[in-house]
Amino acid sequence: MDTPATSANPPRSRVAALLSSETPVPDTLVKGWIRTLRDHKDFAFIEVNDGSCLANLQVVAPSGMPGFSQAVTLGTGAAVVIRGELAASPGKGQRWELQAKEIVLAGSCPEDYPLQKKRHSDEFLRGIAHLRVRTNKYGAMFRIRSSLAQAVHAFFQARGFHWIHTPILTASDCEGAGEMFRVTLGRQNGEEFFGRKTHLTVSGQLALEMFALALGDVYTFGPTFRAENSNTSRHASEFWMVEPESAFADIEDNMRLAGDFLRHLVVHAMDRCAEDLSLFANFVDTGLMARLENIATKGPVRVSYTEAILILQKSGVAFEYPPAWGKDLQTAHERYLAEEVFQGPVIVHDYPAGVKAFYMRMNADEKTVAAMDMLVPGVGEIIGGSQREERFHVLRQRLVSMGLSEEEYGWYLDSRRYGSAPHSGFGLGFERLLMLVTGAGNIRDVIPYPRTPGSIDF
């Protein structure tokens, strides 16, 4: 809560700590930014926010105070250091206020500050991603993001999973789908820096599997890159993915882990981010808390891909892409299942082999693989995972039949040569989790600096 005092001043206090104080504080120092200032001649009301929480601290500055005449000229956005006394507030709406004794300007904020107005559209704010975090909504968003990242680690650490730092630069293509960014030298001399073609990772999974087959339960959590040219509200070119991988775990274990994980994250947000979430529940999505409550109390429903296709075909809905066995589910199908049919999270399992990656375990029917996707309302797919093909010959056959090079995947096949074991894992898109938890409708609004096709600010 406090930073050490460097002068005669008391240590700096965070607004969050002051607002939850049980007692008055005779002498305290607050450092933050002015949100509003109202000058009433004999005194001024200043709302100060220091980023520690959604709420502002109400500061009452008497006109005789050092720095007063300068303070009342300050506008929204100015950075200030205020010394004063935390006292019970006689006014309505807050328990505490800071009765200022001195205000020192740290950085002024002229009239052309783009956030002078109170309300701005998300589109406008996307154009100033470097400033939007100064608004209530984006401050709340990025505090929730930070807290949920901690919750990811807490979940896995409590279950004995080891955190593995899988590489970002890679010479293999996890999904075999070729939607990767190439990494090259700026100068074009035809040489590869690493002696071979290198890309930004699309998933840490293959590297992670090797660690699961030694450390048992592992996870990776970091930036992921996809060069797919899909300019949608749910795709980013750079996003964060959480990927657990467990040895001696089958698809059943995997689905259970995915359900427990999602619930843990939602419960964490409701318990630990209540104030910030209230902003989204009040101003972004009035159905938010009911939806989160529903996820927190019920586990995901399960349905096989084959059943899901039948449900979609019988729905009578005229989908743009008619659902058909053997074709991948479209976002419209996924959202229909999660929003209309099951009205909550649903895990679709056992997809046709043809629509899924080479590493997924072939089922006994030799038509479907042990894949599972979790779909949620408002977002669609939030988790994708599978039991992995652990049988050497089956995997090699699959690789070759999908046109992948046995040589290039030699290291991966090694894991099936030496002490292979059944294992499973999944990937959760961290931004899609934030969309679910906050009700934000666009992935660009849940990541600090969005990167999407044709758009990178700096």
Q: Where does this chain bind Mg ion (CB under 5 A)?
A: 384
Query: Least separation, in Å, of the C-beta of 432 and Mg ion?
Result: 11
Contact 121, 128 (CB under 8 A): no
Closest to ligand 4AD by CB, 70 vs 229, is 229
CB atoms near residue 4 (< 10 Å): 6
Closer to Mg ion by Cβ: residue 377 or 384 = 384
**Rounded to 5°, angle at Cα 451 from 448 and 452:** 135
12 binds, among ligand 4AD, Mg ion, none (CB under 5 to 8 A by kind): none
* Least distance between ligand 4AD and beta carbon 290 (Å): 23
Choose between 323 and 425: whose C-beta lies nearer to ligand 4AD.
425
The answer to whether the CB of 261 falls within 8 A of the CB of 428 is: yes
Which of Mg ion, ligand 4AD, none does residue 333 bind (CB under 5 to 8 Å by kind)? none
Shortest distance, position 191 Cβ to Mg ion, whole Å = 35
205 binds, among ligand 4AD, Mg ion, none (CB under 5 to 8 A by kind): ligand 4AD
The residue nearest Mg ion at its CB is 384
Q: Indicate the residue among 199 and 235 with the shorter CB distance to ligand 4AD.
A: 235
For 178, left (φ over 0), alpha (ψ -120 to 50), or beta? left
Residue closer to ligand 4AD, measured from CB, 43 or 211: 211
Tell me the closest approach of the beta carbon of residue 354 to ligand 4AD, in angstroms.
16
Which listed option, ligand 4AD, Mg ion, none, makes contact with residue 427 (CB within 5 to 8 Å by class)?
ligand 4AD
380 vs 384 by CB, closer to Mg ion: 384
Q: Which residues contact 100 (CB under 8 A, 6 or more apart)?
A: 46, 59, 60, 61, 62, 65, 82, 83, 84
Compute the least distance from the CB of residue 357 to Mg ion, in Å: 9
Kindly tell me which of 138 and 359 has the beta carbon lying closer to ligand 4AD: 359
Q: Residue 226 binds what, of Mg ion, ligand 4AD, none (CB under 5 to 8 Å, by partner type)?
A: ligand 4AD
Please choose which of ligand 4AD, Mg ion, none residue 385 contacts, taking the beta carbon within 5 to 8 angstroms, the exact cut-off set by kind: ligand 4AD
C-alpha dist (Å) from residue 338 to 308, 326, 335: 11, 20, 5
Out of Mg ion, ligand 4AD, none, what residue 444 binds, judged by CB under 5 to 8 A for its kind, is none
- CB nearer ligand 4AD, residue 56 or residue 205: 205
Q: Which is nearer to ligand 4AD, 60 or 383 (CB)?
A: 383
Residue 237 CB, nearest approach to Mg ion (Å): 16
Say which amino acid occupies 192.
E
CB 174 → ligand 4AD: shortest distance, Å? 5
The nearest distance, CB 175 to ligand 4AD, in angstroms, is 6
Angle among Cα 443, 446, 450 to the nearest 5 degrees reads 65
Contact residues for ligand 4AD (CB under 6 A)? 174-175, 203, 205, 226, 235-236, 239, 241, 243, 381-385, 425-427, 429, 431-432, 443
Closest to ligand 4AD by CB, 47 vs 173, is 173
Choose the one of ligand 4AD, Mg ion, none that binds residue 236, judging by a C-beta under 5 to 8 angstroms depending on kind.
ligand 4AD
Query: Please, what is the minimum distance in Å from the beta carbon of residue 287 to ligand 4AD?
Result: 21
Angle at 193 between CA 189 and CA 195, to 5 degrees: 100
CB 346 to ligand 4AD: min, Å: 13
